[in-house]
């Protein structure tokens, strides 16, 4: 089974993090039910023409609902439904369409207890909420940060935890690399590394979001790589017993695609795809579902080619 296919601001750190907003107030998007089936036709129409997708699958036999190119209100409604069915949101990514609309992709995994998330919050709201959540024994799991209607907004997921969980936002690549070196020396490993074009177009400055949690494995990471560099890194890491865990893509000031990726120890097949259309993604998901794999990462982005 192929591994991958294709067609500063010092804001961060540890001990101030988020409120357990009522779980229905910070919930989710429409998902493919408890089986890997194509999304509704209206979603497909939006996604097929303008959006491409990157995705990673991991071994699994659970229901694993997913949602694609949903509005925030659809996301919240679907999350409420899935929460009652015993699913908790695990992945949340977002794309701004050319008309300015924000659309969301999400993945839910079986779970119990709390797993709050927020969409479209201001920076002040995000950091205040994070502080509350930290005190309640919740740690940030995923962060999106983006410019929308002239304001910097945040989406985020929190999960139960008591570790020292570090995170940064709005850092240059050089500063981010230096921070990762420092965190590794202190026994932390990246679980998210996301370059973001600050303007959401091809004219913006690239800044990084990062989340570290305790760990001691090698955890290979590549930042701002070309597609060829990312593929080569994946082959190299595959050979030494690491499987791709996290994948992010962004456009540079010049419009080129660049990739961030994180690998974790593993020996499974771990199929991945980049730059696939929505119908291709749904067909691949059906194939992976039948083979005993479940989607664990999905990221939409605008296709200008």
**Cβ distance 148 to 102 under 8 Å?**
yes
Report the pLDDT value the prediction gives residue 264, as an integer from 0 to 100.
98
Q: Report the chain's terminal Cα–Cα distance, integer Å.
A: 28
Chain length of the chain: 305
Tell me the per-residue pLDDT of 203-261, one tens digit each, with 9 for 90 and over: 468 999 999 999 999 999 999 999 999 999 999 999 999 999 999 999 887 889 999 99
Torsion-angle region of residue 17: left (phi > 0), alpha (psi -120 to 50) or beta? Answer: beta
Burial class (CB in 10 A: 0-12, 13-18, 19+), 136: middle
Task: Report DSSP letters for 22-40, one per residue.
Answer: -TTTT-B---B-SS--PPP
Residues 95, 69: contact at Cβ < 8 Å?
yes
Check pLDDT > 50 for residue 136: yes
Work out the average pLDDT over 107-126. Answer: 96
Token readout for 10 is 């010092």
3-state helix vs strand vs coil in the chain, percent to 5:
25, 45, 35
Over residues 184-191, the mean pLDDT reads 98
Residue 29 has pLDDT above 50, yes or no: no
Encoded tokens for 43: 């979603």
Span of 185-189, 196-200, 250-254 with lowest mean pLDDT: 196-200
Is residue 21's pLDDT more than 60? no
Nearest-5° Cα angle at 281, 294 to 70: 90
188-197 and 206-214 as β-strands: parallel, antiparallel, unpaired? antiparallel
Checking if the pLDDT of 133 tops 70, the result is yes
State the Cα–Cα distance between residues 61 and 290, nearest whole angstrom.
Answer: 10
Whole-model pTM: value is: 0.85
Q: What is the pLDDT of residues 139-176, one digit of tens each?
A: 999 999 999 998 999 999 999 999 999 999 999 999 99
Question: Treating both helix axes as pointing N-terminal to C-terminal, what angle do 41-50 and 278-290 enclose, rounded to 10 degrees?
Answer: 120
């Amino acid at each position: 089974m192929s591994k991958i296919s294709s067609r500063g601001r010092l804001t961060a750190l540890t001990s101030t993090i988020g409120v357990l907003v009522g779980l229905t107030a910070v919930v989710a998007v429409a998902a493919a039910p408890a089986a890997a089936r194509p999304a509704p036709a209206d979603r497909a129409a939006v996604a097929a023409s303008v959006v491409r997708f990157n995705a990673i699958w991991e071994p699994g036999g659970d229901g694993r609902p997913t949602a694609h190119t949903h509005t925030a209100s659809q996301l919240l409604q679907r999350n409420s439904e899935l929460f009652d069915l015993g699913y908790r949101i695990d992945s949340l990514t977002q794309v701004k369409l050319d008309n300015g609309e924000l659309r969301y992709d999400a993945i839910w995994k079986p779970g119990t207890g709390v797993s709050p998330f927020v969409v479209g919050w201001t920076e002040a709201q995000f950091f205040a909420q994070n502080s509350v959540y930290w005190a309640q024994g919740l740690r940030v799991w995923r962060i999106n940060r983006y410019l929308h209607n002239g304001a910097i907004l945040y989406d985020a997921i929190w999960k139960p935890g008591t570790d020292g969980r570090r995170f940064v936002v709005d850092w240059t690549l050089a500063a981010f690399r230096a921070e990762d070196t420092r965190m590794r020396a202190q026994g932390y490993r990246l679980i998210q590394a996301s370059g973001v074009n600050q303007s959401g177009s091809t004219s913006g400055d690239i800044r990084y979001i990062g989340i570290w949690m305790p760990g001691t494995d090698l955890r290979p990471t590549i930042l701002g790589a070309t597609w060829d560099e990312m593929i080569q890194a994946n082959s190299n890491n595959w050979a030494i017993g690491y499987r791709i865990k996290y994948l992010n893509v962004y456009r540079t000031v010049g419009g080129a695609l660049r990739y961030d990726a994180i690998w974790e120890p593993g020996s499974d097949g771990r199929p991945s795809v980049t730059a696939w259309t929505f119908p291709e993604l749904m067909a691949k998901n059906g194939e992976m579902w039948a083979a005993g794999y479940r989607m664990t990462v999905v990221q939409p982005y605008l296709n200008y080619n």
